Chain A
């Protein structure tokens, strides 16, 4: 608790000059900000540290920024602020913003109405420091502490002043919330494009404020997303929502200040994370088209289809589907009526659960209520009927079953049977797409199921060449054009380019490619370098890639062997000899011990340990699963339980080489063959 306070105190200083600097940077040409990426982040970091802090701290910073507004000598700054604010207003009005709506939206709960503004203005403070402090760069801390007291005494004054200052900003986010609909599209991407809309509208001068507002809009949108994720029961509670909004402002304060590196990380991390949508798709054009047409036919002409998408792990099956669907959703009409149900064999571990999940995804749980159905088919029928009502023709549904093979393991494959049956006998326009990595998946289907399946199968194999692989890597590392800070992006991308042309990097990539030539391999390779980007280490270097390659390509077992004690190592060598002697027959502890004794007594000056101690070491190896019980024999003592050695001799040798100050006679013992 002590040392944080300390850098509370010095941080305002830092903040002040850093912010002023950034301001000048923003006020001058953008090139300045880009030209000094090295210096900037450090200050900003200090800046960030200050903003999100214990409340009274935030108060103070706010007051610091607010003193000009109230204090008469700073009048002109205040209206300079006004002037700055105005373009922002019209920018927001450019996105046709209507105050009525937002007021109705925000002030809807009577209770929330009076504290609401206070919150929003808080949020605004984060943005305001920069341009508030232009004129008063240095002597910030003094006034801050002083009128901390004064204002705490007079809250209502604060409010009034704020309401005045703030109304314009509030609009834009809410507008955005209105027109964003689909929940699954992730927040940041949207924000990115949202933000370049706005940045186009606004002149470079107002860079940071706009950025802040747009950022706020993003965070608002997150809340929207998540609420739309939630079940309607939650939806109804408006108060909860408002409270949620209250929570999420601090984070916007954090990212209020523009930090290209942060942006870079956000973008790249998103790519290597599991929620990934790759920058570009290479290959698979034919399959992509096929899928596209298939789904489109279902969506438009309402014909039923079923298809299996088969390919090894990490060859981009899901990615392909995802991509196709996104492409289809570009069309308004399809977006309206095509319903999308996603099932995953890992989650829906049996058909009843699957059915419940379908109901939820079709948002029919209310219509279903707690009816009790006779059979599975009946239930499914009911669901389709329920969809039908409303329009006379039922909407087309797209079923995507991931880990399709797991569904085939369910009790007499009811779900598959019914889905295929419906798609066969075109009762309702549905398109069933199964994604699996098992080539023999069709054999898993029962006869009746198989007969209903239109044997349309698409095989994906990643036939990545090394060049494609490199290209892919480049795509993953390069920043998109939508990146806010164009100049930075350009610089970054050029960096990446000549990074990838380095010999060492080429070599690393080649080796990784030879190990594992799919995308996931690449991602795991890129994970470390991307995560390693920081203020102190702003670019990716070849050494990053090399270390990362070392990290992921370490042989885990010999790494573990490196950690065992010398005694345990000796036992392992004894086991190795035993397995050599008896041609892989299992051994028991007594044999190992006698083997060990033979060595320890005669061929080494090492201390000879007694049985119990060796036993303990033996058991340790067992818990490490370097040796495993040879099945059965439960009723015998541990000394006589038959065991198998699970370490390959090569690994042992490897470990022996690496082992710190390993006694030489053990090395000899290990290397010498059976006599």
Chain B
């Protein structure tokens, strides 16, 4: 940026285009620390692609149901158009599908584009998506509508808003060339009737180009002559030919269209309804009442609204969790803290799926970036491949990891310990085995958890929680599920479950985990046992009955002899303990105990597994400060320790000391921390000057006298710097001017 181009008499600001440099991902990867980031990056990409596949699948089939209903509605809402109501001047109600999209606004555009394509393919070629940005005026709205329907790109004309008396033409300065002949040409005005003409022309006499719509076949062919003003009350009979394609107008985010425009648009539509089969699709974030709140009822009475509730975001989330977070087949797992953190952001702050996915992706990146062990965090099928490709240096890197060291010291005994640290091939195979066992463990655990969760769902007051994720989080946090009291309560409840509940329960559980049945022998065993039990439950009467006589004889022993009341009570109690057990009850106890043993085996906490650090991402701190920004704190930190941010050596210091080399803003800020609620500007200035000028002598320019004078009345430059700093502080919202005392400002933060 050469200054000679920038010299100007007027104080203008000049923009210089800097040379844009292409950023590559390797610029972001820390090159110094470890050398294997690249491989991990590739690995990350593989896994992420795998994940992304799942996510897309989920997205596509989530809204499928309501979309089907909606399309059905749209397709046949104009069936009855030939009836008398349309002919008589009765209210022409526009069939309207209100799509309640939920408050997670980031996710909407995807949804609408899906809907758009489905409508185009299934119902009619004429679908228009109106975005909020088109709706500044009714004319622009109609223009965009028409251009989308007729597939003609209209240049967006802005100058027809100028119908106010002082239009641009009046602004024309007189001394520009005047030409008396042809006035300036403008684009044609586009109105609704333009659309009517176009539609009639296209679809009235020639029906073959309406062949795109499937509704064509079931129609009678009454061809109408495209009368321009067919929106009259009189010549309607000839005018309705139903084999014409519908016109579907989608208003995404109808709440944020300015009410006036929306109102006009609806009125226009209903007035043209006779000649155009219009269907509206409105996207509403909150509820249908929003429309009533938005529009006067005279207008909302023109809509015949059908409500379609998109599935709540929470359900979306749980499906997502099942697919990507709590899926045994995917290697990468979240540690308990991170899991809860992401979950909280979703549930407490925004219901946005996008943000959740992005957070998850972020965690993955962190994992692969910072954890060298993640070199082994890959899909189960290519564990062997990876481990076999490990070079010596890789292994050295791994051995250097504290997690690995801990694992070797604590859990390995005997010669293997040494071999793990020295012998590469042994380490490879060992690692391979460990990772595979981790995967193995996951399949078992999730199968078990699902089974348990299924059992828990039938219990009163859900001791194990409604959602599967709750159970999962329990499993993550506690070091064994069987020790948490929710589990104990659940078993207690199971033990008093009636037979005709228990049997289907077990069967349901079985076929729930059937897909993992052959994956591991524990699950297989579990299924076998359960099958057996179910068989025995089926023919319970075949069970060997417990011999009843002892109970008989002790009852006869009690009854005859008289005794004192408390003795009687005590005896009764003792009796009630070893009371008679029906075969079903005994069988049930048996089942429950068996189940308990299985769960004991299956549901160990993942964090106790050997080398779980390979798959589990636990570094909550970094993620938190990256994802969940706290602007105020960071500003304060920046002001207190500028050295951290500017990483200049001169201002490295502890919290409260003030260095003259710091930026003025920081100095002013620190000074004002010492004052009360009201800060006297003059004292503040003095303090500022003293601090700044302490090291004046160090500088060569004009020695001591400046120090003296600047104490009393500081130089213009200093004052300017001070004022600037103060105003910056005010802009940051730490102080504000007050009228209570002159030349004071008020502190806003404490």
Enumerate chain A interface residues (CB-CB to B < 8 A).
Answer: 349-353, 355-356, 359, 365, 368-376, 379, 409-412, 414, 615-616, 619-620, 622-623, 637-638
Cα distance A386–B180 in the bound complex, in angstroms: 14
Cα distance A355–B178 in the bound complex, in angstroms: 10
Contact flag A411-B174 (CB < 8 Å), given A352-B169, A620-B298: yes
Q: Do B174 and A615 have beta carbons less than 8 Å apart?
A: no
Q: Do B174 and A351 have beta carbons less than 8 Å apart?
A: yes
Cα distance A370–B178 in the bound complex, in angstroms: 10
Q: Do B180 and A411 have beta carbons less than 8 Å apart?
A: no
Cβ of B297 < 8 Å from any Cβ of A? yes
Q: Do B297 and A370 have beta carbons less than 8 Å apart?
A: no
Cα distance A370–B172 in the bound complex, in angstroms: 19
Contact flag A356-B165 (CB < 8 Å), given A410-B170, A412-B174: no
Q: Do A365 and B298 have beta carbons less than 8 Å apart?
A: no
**Across-interface contacts of A351 in B (CB, < 8 A):** 174
Kindly identify which residue among A369, A372, A411 contacts B170, using a CB–CB cutoff of 8 Å.
Answer: A411
- Can you list 17 contacts pairing A with B, beta carbon distance less than 8 Å? A349-B170, A350-B170, A351-B174, A352-B178, A355-B180, A356-B183, A371-B179, A372-B177, A373-B177, A375-B178, A376-B174, A411-B171, A411-B173, A412-B174, A616-B298, A619-B297, A622-B296
Q: Do A369 and B181 have beta carbons less than 8 Å apart?
A: yes
**B-side interface mostly:** loop
Cα distance A359–B181 in the bound complex, in angstroms: 10
Cβ of B10 < 8 Å from any Cβ of A? no
How close is B181's CB to chain A, nearest CB, in angstroms? 4
Cα distance A615–B173 in the bound complex, in angstroms: 51
Kindly identify which residue among A353, A370, A412 contacts B182, using a CB–CB cutoff of 8 Å.
Answer: A370
**Across-interface contacts of A369 in B (CB, < 8 A):** 181
Cβ of B175 < 8 Å from any Cβ of A? yes
Q: Do A638 and B170 have beta carbons less than 8 Å apart?
A: no
Residue of B165, B171, B177, B180 with most partner-chain A CB within 10 A: B180
Contact flag A623-B169 (CB < 8 Å), given A370-B181, A376-B174, A379-B180: no
Cα distance A372–B181 in the bound complex, in angstroms: 9
Q: Do A370 and B179 have beta carbons less than 8 Å apart?
A: yes
B296, closest chain A residue (CB): A619
Q: Do B297 and A375 have beta carbons less than 8 Å apart?
A: no
**Across-interface contacts of A352 in B (CB, < 8 A):** 169, 172, 178
**Across-interface contacts of A372 in B (CB, < 8 A):** 177-179
What are the 6 A-B residue pairs with the smallest beta carbon separation, nearest first?
Answer: A370-B181, A619-B296, A616-B297, A372-B177, A376-B174, A373-B178
**Across-interface contacts of A368 in B (CB, < 8 A):** 180-181
Cα distance A321–B178 in the bound complex, in angstroms: 32
Cα distance A382–B177 in the bound complex, in angstroms: 14
Q: Do A379 and B181 have beta carbons less than 8 Å apart?
A: no
**Across-interface contacts of B172 in A (CB, < 8 A):** 350, 352, 411
8 Å CB interface, B143-181 against A: 165, 169-175, 177-181
B301, closest chain A residue (CB): A616
**Across-interface contacts of A414 in B (CB, < 8 A):** 174
8 Å CB interface, B75-131 against A: none
How close is A414's CB to chain B, nearest CB, in angstroms? 5
Cα distance A371–B297 in the bound complex, in angstroms: 57
**Across-interface contacts of A379 in B (CB, < 8 A):** 178, 180
Cβ of B411 < 8 Å from any Cβ of A? no
B173, closest chain A residue (CB): A411
B171, closest chain A residue (CB): A411
Cα distance A411–B181 in the bound complex, in angstroms: 21
A370, closest chain B residue (CB): B181
Q: Do A615 and B170 have beta carbons less than 8 Å apart?
A: no
What is the count of residue pairs linking A and B with beta-carbon distances less than 8 angstroms?
Answer: 66
Cβ of B293 < 8 Å from any Cβ of A? yes
Kindly identify which residue among B165, B178, B182 contacts A376, using a CB–CB cutoff of 8 Å.
Answer: B178
**Across-interface contacts of A350 in B (CB, < 8 A):** 169-170, 172
B368-383 interface code vs A (CB 8 A; 1 in, 0 out): 0000000000000000
**Across-interface contacts of A619 in B (CB, < 8 A):** 296-298
Q: Do B174 and A359 have beta carbons less than 8 Å apart?
A: no
Cα distance A368–B181 in the bound complex, in angstroms: 8
**Across-interface contacts of B183 in A (CB, < 8 A):** 356
Cα distance A414–B178 in the bound complex, in angstroms: 13
**Across-interface contacts of A637 in B (CB, < 8 A):** 293
**Across-interface contacts of A376 in B (CB, < 8 A):** 174-175, 178
A375, closest chain B residue (CB): B175
Cα distance A471–B674 in the bound complex, in angstroms: 94
Q: Do A365 and B180 have beta carbons less than 8 Å apart?
A: yes
B181, closest chain A residue (CB): A370
Residue of B171, B181, B182, B298 with most partner-chain A CB within 10 A: B181
How close is A525's CB to chain B, nearest CB, in angstroms? 34
B172, closest chain A residue (CB): A352
**Across-interface contacts of B298 in A (CB, < 8 A):** 616, 619-620, 623
Cα distance A310–B174 in the bound complex, in angstroms: 29
How close is A304's CB to chain B, nearest CB, in angstroms? 22
B293, closest chain A residue (CB): A637
8 Å CB interface, B296-324 against A: 296-298
**Across-interface contacts of B178 in A (CB, < 8 A):** 352, 355, 372-373, 375-376, 379
Kindly identify which residue among B170, B177, B293, B296 contacts A374, using a CB–CB cutoff of 8 Å.
Answer: B177
Contact flag A623-B174 (CB < 8 Å), given A352-B169, A365-B181, A369-B181: no
Cα distance A638–B172 in the bound complex, in angstroms: 42
**Across-interface contacts of A373 in B (CB, < 8 A):** 177-180
Contact flag A356-B175 (CB < 8 Å), given A615-B297, A623-B298, A638-B293: no
Q: Do B296 and A623 have beta carbons less than 8 Å apart?
A: yes
- 18 additional A-B pairs beyond A371-B179, A375-B178, A379-B178, beta carbons within 8 Å, are A349-B170, A350-B172, A351-B174, A352-B178, A356-B180, A365-B181, A368-B181, A369-B181, A370-B179, A372-B177, A373-B180, A374-B177, A411-B171, A414-B174, A619-B297, A619-B298, A638-B293, A638-B296
Residue of B171, B173, B177 with most partner-chain A CB within 10 A: B177
Cα distance A351–B176 in the bound complex, in angstroms: 13
Cα distance A359–B183 in the bound complex, in angstroms: 14
How close is A640's CB to chain B, nearest CB, in angstroms? 12
A358, closest chain B residue (CB): B180
How close is A581's CB to chain B, nearest CB, in angstroms? 27
**Across-interface contacts of A623 in B (CB, < 8 A):** 296, 298
How close is A343's CB to chain B, nearest CB, in angstroms? 15
**Across-interface contacts of B174 in A (CB, < 8 A):** 351, 375-376, 411-412, 414
How close is B136's CB to chain A, nearest CB, in angstroms? 16
A622, closest chain B residue (CB): B296
Residue of A359, A371, A412 with most partner-chain B CB within 10 A: A371
How close is B352's CB to chain A, nearest CB, in angstroms? 25
Cα distance A637–B296 in the bound complex, in angstroms: 12
**Across-interface contacts of B177 in A (CB, < 8 A):** 372-374
A382, closest chain B residue (CB): B180
A617, closest chain B residue (CB): B297
8 Å CB interface, B177-198 against A: 177-183
A369, closest chain B residue (CB): B181
**Across-interface contacts of B296 in A (CB, < 8 A):** 619, 622-623, 638
Cα distance A263–B278 in the bound complex, in angstroms: 52
**Across-interface contacts of A371 in B (CB, < 8 A):** 179-180
Cα distance A412–B175 in the bound complex, in angstroms: 12
How close is A610's CB to chain B, nearest CB, in angstroms? 13
How close is A268's CB to chain B, nearest CB, in angstroms? 34
B179, closest chain A residue (CB): A372
**Across-interface contacts of B170 in A (CB, < 8 A):** 349-350, 410-411
**Across-interface contacts of B173 in A (CB, < 8 A):** 411
A417, closest chain B residue (CB): B174
**Across-interface contacts of A355 in B (CB, < 8 A):** 178, 180
Cα distance A412–B174 in the bound complex, in angstroms: 9
**Across-interface contacts of B182 in A (CB, < 8 A):** 370
Cα distance A368–B179 in the bound complex, in angstroms: 9
A378, closest chain B residue (CB): B178
**Across-interface contacts of A375 in B (CB, < 8 A):** 174-175, 178
**Across-interface contacts of A622 in B (CB, < 8 A):** 296
Cα distance A373–B176 in the bound complex, in angstroms: 9
How close is A400's CB to chain B, nearest CB, in angstroms? 21
